[in-house]
A and B are shown apart, each in its own frame.
Chain A
Amino acid sequence: MASTRLYTVIFVTLMAFSTAQALFEFTGILDRAYWFALGVIMVLSTIKATLVAGYFQHLVHEPRSITYLIAGALVGVLALTAGAAYSIL
């Protein structure tokens, strides 16, 4: 297990990233550069999710096989989403 200090730093980072995501809307960046903002916002969400999974769920300390299990599920659902979305373009 990581230290309480590390957990606290991660928590503060998560809160800061969430605020940053909302700021894209509040400051009007989303209206001016939609696709750029979308990219950054989704990257921030991915980093947040990775931090929660890695440290709050302790994936970094578990056998890699658990990460592969979850990654397999993610790949499956991304294949579904990407394939389905592409099929109607």
Chain B
Amino acid sequence: MTEHADHDHEHHLPPKSSVKRWLVTTNHKDIGVLYIITSLFFLVAGGILAMMIRAQLWTPGGTLLGGQGYNQAVTSHGLLMVFWFISPFAFGLANYLVPLQIGADDLAFPRLNAMSYWVYLFSGLLFLTSFFLGSSLAGGWTIYQPLNVPAFIPEVNQVGSLATIFALMLFVAAVTMGSVNFLTTFYRMRAEGLRVRDMPLFSVSILLTVWMMLFAFAALLAAVILLSFDHLLGSVWFSTAEGGSLLWAHLFWFFGHPEVYIVFFPALGVMAEVFQTFSGKRIVGRKWFVIAMALVAIQSFVVWMHHMFLTAINLPIKTIFMATTIGISLPFDLMVFALIYTLAKGKIRFKTPFLFSFGALLLFILGGITGVFLGAVVLDYQFRGTYWVVAHFHYVMFGGGTALIGGLYYWYPKMTGKMYDEFLGKVHFAMFFVGFNLLYFPMFVVWETPRRVFDYAAEFTMWHRLATVGAFLFAASFLVMIYNMFKSLHSGEEAPDNPWEYASAGEWAVPSPPPLENYPGVPSYAGGKLSFLTRSEAADGGTVVEQEVAGTEQTAPDGGAIAHAGAAATTPTTDYAEELALEDEHADHASIWPFAISASAFVTFLGLSGISKAYFIWPFVFATGFMVAYFGIEGGRREGFGWIHPVVMALGGAIAAGGAYLLAIDKGGLGAAIDGASVYFWLTTVGAFMGAATLTQLGFEEFNVPEPAIAEQWPFEAVSNVKLGMWMFLGSDVILFGAFIGSYIFMRVGHGWTDWHHDFIPEAHVVLPGLINTYLLLASSFAVVLALVAARQQNRRRLLGYLITTFLLGVGFLINKAVEWEHLFHLHEGAFADGWTFTTNIASSSFYITTGLHGAHVAVGLLITLYLIVRAYNGAYLGEEEADTIEHFGLYWHFVDIVWLFLFPLFYIL
């Protein structure tokens, strides 16, 4: 314990008994624990809502909750359980275990990992806050439209509803950060000799899950961003009668169906691991099991319309999606049979983790079979909107949750160093399994009960009462689990490194709980088994590489030969020893800024939930001015003052002052502007200022994360972690902007492609402003390329010059856009006598929102450019490696350019 504490101290981390430790930690194991505890908190929140629902259903037309209260309870229960409980619970386990299983000392970006957690936590807090802002969202967890646009939400409930939507948006941001981080870690930080296909099955399942998350959640982000603008600015994406409702369904379910597997895959990984351990058998058909999972991950993106069989989509597409849906069940059949056959061949030990995993398999089989009914068009016509659907997806989703709880028991000894109480674990399982089936099976029996409605036929009452009794038994089982966890933490037996016979994944080769650095050396699988390599001086003055193979020790002279025994020796021995020495450097593991930035986001979005359209932009203008000025202050203070710093400070001051001037003009004086500002305006402003300050601090913070010198990195060997992370992020952004553009194309096809221009767009909307902006953006991209060349040539003057040119061209782009918008807003022609604004029609909404979000990307890019300018002034980024930062920024800036290359013809020419 003392040794651990010393290690922690070396990494600038307070002890675990200190609250501060948990606020500043960026260590993957700490964050895994935080995820698990937080997700269980949201399980309790969602569970209480479920109890209220079941209490209301004790009698048909129950009155415990009012109508709006019941709708809120149903909606919030669904959202909390799907988003804030199940996946984060799985990712708590993944955070803790994936680096241990693949031989990494942490995730690729520890601070980003912390940020991901804190944004997740604050998004959940924003969700819960929405209950105190009039009403949380009440239109169902699928947020169908137009039911959830302002026109169909009572005035008093609109702030809370928008807060819920923002909570979802923040959650997706957290998920995207996590996906990028995990993918980079999987592909860049696997131990030597560990191929992707050979990773433990839990890690394989998480890898496929994060791929799906990266793409699927981007579509959800696009949907909630568009919805938030319908609320904030009155755009008509989802309220227009011409396909708004269908557009939402397409975007939501393009995300929503992969989400089912995003939730379930980690559970599948847990089942595979637990079955292997407690049957003593390697999973049958391992290769095909992995291929089947990969197939499902790909197929999951081509089944989404089976959720839309009762909408106006045409019959041929329904038939196609029925076929793809039936098709996706086939790989699942293979996986289920592999799991069953593994048990049949093995000698089973009925420990608690196994019971939960086996229970999960049974529940999933029932959930899966009943889901195939819904994939058939004709049956779906009958079952859609009934309790059949409710029962089916609870069997699937909480079937997955069941395995994850098994996973918690399985890895509890590893995480805590204590054994849980086996008897209490079995009591938990018995109550859980009986409660679960008592709760959900009656729903199949009385499937004609209408979903989301608290009235039902009187003859169903007995079955619903059974379900309610089951629900309370089910809930009570968790009290047993929580008691068990707490009791065992304080008085449980000490857990050995590996308490489970036949458990073989990497995490079991280290102490329980593992030390901060995870491994006693550099992990390697090159010899076919996990071993740990360390470099030290030999008695004769030479170099030796010590190789410790799980449980035994060998020492070999000068390393390479034995370390590579049985594998292709691709690295010369001397280099290998040198690289090994580099591994002594460890990441700095403490930063408060991820927490602080996330708190800022909470305050900002809380404010935005109630801000008026007239004040929406101003907090960000002022905060931008502040942030720019702060760049100058911090840059000069930390790296030495020069002429650039007062210039940047003055620029920041000018932005803020200019904003105040324009606001005063708009509102008839500064006093009137202040008088007219609501508390939400001030909240947004405070949050935006906090965000500006904390992001700047993060940017200037020293935080070195050395990349592993010896690692398996197929198929991304030749790129750095940061560059790969950037490309992963851009992959997600391709879906985000693609979804915006796809939404525009969908709505235009729906209206009639060639009629669109004539019916919706004023004559004054011409090509020239778009062409000028194309020139400006292309020129700025070229300037960034030249900046990179200058940085690599170590030419500071040119680097500064090209960065400043990029900045000025980008500013020109935004000014040109502002002038164009101002002109269009105030048109007085023909059908657009009141101007062409956000609210005029779907063409104006799509034009302003899509190009506006692109403009926001430009604005963010300009802030980064200013930051780079301030640092480049003092000599940063010069040299081959140092210039990488400019290249990474360039990847983002050129992407913004590419997006515009499609927006220009679509919104200005065609």
Residues on A close to B: CB < 8 A? Answer: 1, 4, 7-8, 11, 14-15, 18-19, 21-22, 24-26, 30, 34, 38, 41-42, 44-45, 48-49, 52-53, 56-58, 62-66, 69-70, 72-74, 76-81, 83-89
Contacts and interface: CB of A to CB of B under 8 A. Distances in A.
A24 B313 CA distance: 35
Contact of B254 (A66, A69, A80, A85): A80
A7 B782 contact: yes
B215 A49 contact: no
B909 A25 contact: yes
A52 to B, nearest CB: 5
Interface in B714-749: 715-719, 724, 727-728, 730-732, 734-735, 738-739, 741-742, 745-746, 749
A56 B746 contact: no
Contacts of A62: 718-719
A30 B909 contact: yes
A63 B905 contact: no
Given A1-B788, A7-B786, A30-B910, 16 more contacts: A7-B782, A18-B774, A18-B904, A21-B904, A38-B910, A41-B910, A45-B904, A56-B781, A65-B716, A69-B731, A70-B727, A72-B215, A76-B735, A80-B250, A81-B746, A88-B314
Contacts of B741: 81
Contacts of B788: 1
Given A18-B771, A52-B901, A85-B749, A73 B317 contact: no
B738 A77 contact: yes
Chain A interface secondary structure, helix, strand, loop or mixed?
helix
A49 B25 CA distance: 41
B10 to A, nearest CB: 36
A73 B770 CA distance: 26
Nearest to A89: B314
Contacts of B742: 77, 80-81, 84
A57 B785 CA distance: 9
B786 A80 contact: no
A87 B251 CA distance: 13
B2 interface: no
A24 B771 CA distance: 12
A60 B902 CA distance: 21
24 contacts: A11-B778, A11-B781, A15-B775, A18-B778, A21-B904, A25-B767, A25-B909, A49-B901, A53-B894, A56-B894, A63-B715, A66-B719, A66-B727, A73-B215, A73-B731, A80-B219, A83-B302, A83-B304, A83-B317, A84-B742, A85-B746, A88-B313, A88-B746, A88-B750
Nearest to B902: A45
Nearest to B246: A88
Interface residues of B, number: 68
A63 B713 CA distance: 12
Interface in B262-307: 301-302, 304-305
Contacts of B897: 52, 56
Contacts of B792: 1
Contacts of B731: 69-70, 72-73
A9 B902 CA distance: 21
B789 A1 contact: yes
B734 A77 contact: yes
B895 A57 contact: yes
User: Which 3 residue pairs of A and B lie closest in terms of their CB atoms, listed nearest first?
Assistant: A77-B738, A81-B742, A73-B734
B23 interface: no
Interface string B307-349: 0100011100100000000000000000000000000000000
Given A38-B910, A42-B905, A77-B734, A22 B771 contact: yes
A1 B793 CA distance: 12
B371 interface: no
Nearest to A35: B754
Contacts of A70: 727, 730-731, 734
Contact of A4 (B724, B786, B905): B786
Nearest to B891: A57
Given A57-B895, A73-B731, A81-B738, A41 B317 contact: no
A11 B894 CA distance: 12
Contact of A57 (B254, B308, B739, B894): B894
Contact of B745 (A19, A63, A85): A85
A14 to B, nearest CB: 5
Contacts of A15: 775, 778
B708 interface: no
Nearest to A77: B738
B594 interface: no
